[in-house]
Each structure stands twice: as C-alpha cells, then as structure tokens.
Amino acid sequence: MCGLLADEHADAHLRVLVQICTGPRWCDIWTALNVPHYSFADFNLSQGISDLVLWQFCQAESLLLVTANRNGRGSDSLDVTIRTHGTATSLPVLTIADERLMLVDRGYAERAGIRLLEILLDLDEFRGTGRLFLPAMPA
C-alpha cells in the first residue's frame, strides 16, 4: 500500500483528511487500508523543492502527494512533470480542489475524505491518471 505525503503547504489539509477517515464512520476502512501519512519533515524534504524532484520522490517511495497549490507554471511544474514523466503506472497526485473550504467546511472535508477512501480502495484503477481532485470536481 502507498503512503500519503502532505505537500509543504498541505499539512493541515492532510490532518483534516485523516481526521475524517479515522472518525467513527470510516475508521474500519481506514484501519484495514493501513495507510501511513507523512510530512516533508519526516523525509527531510526542503521547503521549495521543485515539483519535478518532489513528484519523482513520491513515485520512487510509493507516496501519494497531497497538495493544495502546486500550479502549472514553469518547465518543471507539477502539470508539466506529470505530462512529461507520467506513465500508465504512475501514482496520481491528490489535489485539494478548494484549500480554504477543506479547512472550514466539515461537509466539504467529509466529501474529500470519502473521495480519498475511494481512491485508496481502488488505487490501481487510478494509476496513470495524473492528478485527482479531493473532492471530485464536477464534470
């Protein structure tokens, strides 16, 4: 099973997700999945690490990156990195669709937590998708 790594600006967001997933409603599923979760400090990753290096690290360490604000600017941006280096077996990046709402709206956070569990339960189906949003963006 893969672990979860909070991006340098997503520690609070990952804590909220874990809180939702370990609550009474989803605790049995979360426990069965046994998903470790980490911060940059756990791996001595430096603040400001490039998107390319971070993505490569996550792929090598079997970590799903949880991010709130990595953008598509620059030749080593997360979007360019995924398009250039992603394969059919690459782990997806999990992006908080609205980073503010995640921290202030319990219903929104609950939907994001459910989406996270759906992804974790069927992770192989999501390999190669690039970026997934928590919660899912409307079609």
Q: What is the pLDDT along the chain (139 residues), one digit of tens a residue?
A: 799 999 999 999 999 999 999 999 999 999 999 999 999 999 999 998 999 999 999 999 999 999 987 666 777 789 999 999 999 999 999 999 999 999 999 999 999 999 999 999 999 999 999 999 999 876 5
Number of domains into which the chain is organized:
1
Report the candidate in 23, 10, 25, 5 with the shortest Cα–Cα distance to residue 99. Answer: 10
Give the pLDDT score at 139.
Answer: 53
Peptide bond preceding 36: is omega within 30 degrees of 0, i.e. cis?
Answer: no
Cα–Cα distance measured from residue 81 to residue 130, given in angstroms and rounded to the nearest whole number: 10
Q: Residue 87 domain-assigned? A: yes
- Cβ proximity of 127 and 93 under 8 Å: no
Give the pLDDT score at 75.
Answer: 77
Give the pLDDT score at 76.
Answer: 77
Residue 79 belongs to domain spanning? 3-134
What is the domain-level CATH number for residue 72?
3.40.50
Q: Residue 9 domain-assigned? A: yes
